[in-house]
């Protein structure tokens, strides 16, 4: 086989030297404190059976057969988009193949040349990649810092003629590598007052906040948000995503979002699973599952205080808790120690996070017991306090 070009081999070598080479690993059977399956829906038998019974009435079983705009569109998509709009209190919804595709398609096509995009410095790679593909100018503001954003906006408005210019502000309701949240109410009020288009990535708030409906719903600010991203690969335990917004935004994206137009649609069984997962989430049992997740989160916070780990962990009331241990080697050592104790926790290394901010990312799930949670924190405390 032809060899990898020398320049690429050198890049790989550099990654190895920095202790930052990425490799997929098979699930070891260790206790899951790492996946995004916060509600345990990925292994929920009722959801699987419900999806199978939906599929029993379909005449296409395997592949979607084409893009949504050709032969890949089917009745289940319409059913799901109606459910999503109602459940999340939005005018409409458009399903994409993944959250990555949705962010890519949205940010590459919605902000136009001459428009401005202001994004939190820690937004997900998919948002950054979408912005890079688009033609608008973009600026980052300090993490969760509304004052810094306002300073940028004032300066940009002071620069003379901006006739017809649209301004987009992008943040996440739960940051994927930090687990924290901005003051979304304040962001929404500011954006409404200044007539800016607020876009919120709710990937890690979907299924967790607002009884599962997301943080925008919990705060009652849906009407003030131009677009929300919800994803199905995290708390919903499936795959795919949707942009929530008004009907014209949906029609626009169907016509201009290239990641949707030029890619084979999700297969029907995936859409059936997402439908079943949402139906379960909205049921009494689903609501109780979300409440149990919050009980687990409260228990974790209480134990974290007991072990004197407040200064190691970033503040969070989401399912994501992050211990900043600094240095790829140190974080890897701690993760290996936990893995050696039967706990699946992954290190997040530079360059995924900036140097000096390397961390352990702990995801809490409804199925994590109090004993397991206590064990994780006891081991981290021993590692950290020596
Ligand atoms: C904040 C955020 N947005 C978007 C995505 C992408 O979603 P998906 O995994 O469905 O592509 C992720 C996934 O890691 C995420 O954390």
Give domain status of residue 23, yes or no.
Answer: no
User: Quick one: 226 and 294 in the same domain?
Assistant: no
User: Quick one: 289 and 272 in the same domain?
Assistant: no
Residue with CA nearest ligand 1 atom 4: 99
Residue with CA nearest ligand 1 atom 9: 99
For residue 13 the two structure tokens come to 């070598």
Rounded to the nearest angstrom, the gap between the alpha carbon of residue 300 and the centroid of all alpha carbons in its chain is 21
**Of 282, 299, 332, which residue is a domain's last?**
282
Q: Which helix (H) or strand (E) holds 294?
A: helix 284-306
User: Quick one: 245 and 379 in the same domain?
Assistant: no
- The CATH number linked to 375 is 3.90.1150.10
Residue with CA nearest ligand 1 atom 14: 176
Per residue of the chain (386 residues), give pLDDT as tens. 999 999 999 999 999 998 888 888 887 789 999 999 999 999 999 999 999 999 998 888 899 999 999 999 999 999 999 999 999 999 999 999 999 999 999 999 999 999 999 999 999 999 999 999 999 999 999 999 999 999 999 999 877 657 799 999 999 999 999 999 999 999 999 999 999 999 999 999 999 999 999 999 999 999 999 999 999 999 999 999 999 999 999 999 999 999 999 999 999 999 999 999 999 999 999 999 999 999 999 999 999 999 999 999 999 999 999 999 988 899 999 999 999 999 999 999 888 888 999 999 999 999 999 999 999 999 999 999 87
DSSP assignment of 65-96 equals -SBTTTT---HHHHHHHHHHHHHTT-SEEEEE
Distance 1 CA to ligand 1 centre (A): 34
Task: Determine the structural domain holding residue 306 and report its residue range.
Answer: 284-385
User: Quick one: 86 and 224 in the same domain?
Assistant: yes
Alpha carbon distance 298, 139 (integer Å): 36
β-bridge partners, 137: 116
User: Quick one: 185 and 94 in the same domain?
Assistant: yes
User: Quick one: 60 and 112 in the same domain?
Assistant: yes
User: Quick one: 253 and 303 in the same domain?
Assistant: no
User: Quick one: 264 and 305 in the same domain?
Assistant: no
User: Quick one: 199 and 325 in the same domain?
Assistant: no
Give the pLDDT score at 354. Answer: 87
User: Quick one: 167 and 314 in the same domain?
Assistant: no
**Of 252, 282, 312, which residue is a domain's last?**
282
DSSP assignment of 23-49 equals ------S-EESSSS-TTSGGG-HHHHH
**Of 282, 305, 323, which residue is a domain's last?**
282
- The CATH number linked to 138 is 3.40.640.10
CB-based contacts of 269, cutoff 8 Å, min separation 6: 51, 55, 61, 62
Atom of ligand 1 nearest to the CA of 240: 10
Give domain status of residue 234, yes or no.
Answer: yes
User: Quick one: 113 and 182 in the same domain?
Assistant: yes
Residue with CA nearest ligand 1 atom 16: 176
Give domain status of residue 21, yes or no.
Answer: no
For residue 303 the two structure tokens come to 């134990």
Give domain status of residue 161, yes or no.
Answer: yes
Give domain status of residue 139, yes or no.
Answer: yes
In whole angstroms, how far apart are CA 3 and each of 7, 9, 14, 23, 305? 11, 9, 18, 20, 53
User: Quick one: 290 and 263 in the same domain?
Assistant: no
Distance 254 CA to ligand 1 centre (A): 20
**Number of folded domains in the chain?**
2
Under a CB-based contact definition with an 8 Å cutoff, are residues 132 and 111 in contact? no
Residues framing ligand 1 (Cβ under 6 A): 98-100, 103, 124, 126, 172, 176, 201, 203-204, 231, 233, 241
Q: Say whether pTM exceeds 0.85.
A: yes
* Distance between start and end Cα atoms, the chain: 49
For residue 34 the two structure tokens come to 């790492």
Alpha carbon distance 274, 256 (integer Å): 25
Give domain status of residue 227, yes or no.
Answer: yes
Give the pLDDT score at 351. Answer: 84
**Strand stretches in the chain, DSSP E:** 31-32, 92-96, 116-120, 137-141, 167-172, 197-201, 227-231, 241-245, 320-324, 343-344, 346-348, 359-363
Among residues 87, 101, 105, 92, the alpha carbon closest in space to that of 244 is found at: 92
For residue 155 the two structure tokens come to 């300066």
Give domain status of residue 252, yes or no.
Answer: yes
């Amino acid at each position: 086989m032809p060899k990898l070009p020398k320049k690429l081999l050198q890049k790989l070598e550099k990654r190895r030297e920095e202790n930052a080479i990425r490799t997929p690993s098979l699930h070891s059977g260790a206790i899951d404190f790492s996946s995004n399956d916060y509600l345990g829906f990925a292994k929920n038998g009722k959801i699987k059976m419900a999806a199978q019974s939906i599929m029993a009435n379909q005449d296409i079983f395997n592949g979607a057969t084409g893009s949504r705009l050709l032969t890949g569109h089917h009745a289940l998509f319409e059913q799901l988009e109606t459910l999503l709009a109602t459940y999340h209190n939005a005018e409409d919804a458009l399903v994409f193949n993944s959250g990555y595709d949705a962010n890519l398609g949205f940010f590459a096509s919605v902000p136009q040349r001459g428009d401005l995009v202001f994004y939190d410095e820690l937004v997900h790679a998919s948002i950054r990649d979408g912005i890079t593909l688009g033609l608008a100018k973009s600026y980052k503001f300090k993490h969760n810092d509304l004052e810094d954003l306002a300073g940028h906006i004032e300066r940009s408005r002071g620069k003379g003629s901006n006739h017809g210019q649209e301004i987009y502000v992008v943040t996440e309701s739960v940051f994927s590598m930090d687990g924290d949240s901005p003051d979304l109410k304040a962001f929404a009020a500011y954006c409404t007052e200044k007539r800016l288009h607020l876009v919120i990535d709710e990937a890690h708030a979907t299924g967790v906040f607002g009884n599962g409906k997301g943080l925008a719903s919990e705060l009652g600010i849906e009407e003030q948000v131009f677009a929300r991203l919800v994803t199905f690969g995290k708390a919903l335990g499936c795959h795919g995503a949707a942009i929530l917004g008004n009907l014209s935004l949906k029609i626009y994206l169907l016509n201009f979002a290239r990641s949707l137009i030029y890619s084979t649609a999700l297969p029907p069984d995936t859409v059936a699973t997402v439908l079943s997962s949402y139906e379960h989430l909205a049921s009494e049992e689903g609501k109780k599952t979300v409440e149990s997740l919050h009980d687990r989160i409260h228990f974790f916070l209480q134990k974290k205080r007991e072990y004197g780990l407040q200064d190691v962990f970033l503040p969070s009331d989401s399912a994501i808790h992050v211990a900043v241990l600094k240095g790829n080697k140190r974080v890897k050592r701690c993760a290996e120690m936990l893995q050696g104790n039967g706990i699946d926790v992954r290190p997040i290394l530079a360059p995924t996070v900036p140097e000096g901010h390397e961390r352990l990312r702990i995801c809490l799930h409804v199925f994590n017991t109090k004993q397991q949670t206590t064990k994780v924190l006891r081991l981290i405390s021993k590692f950290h306090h020596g």
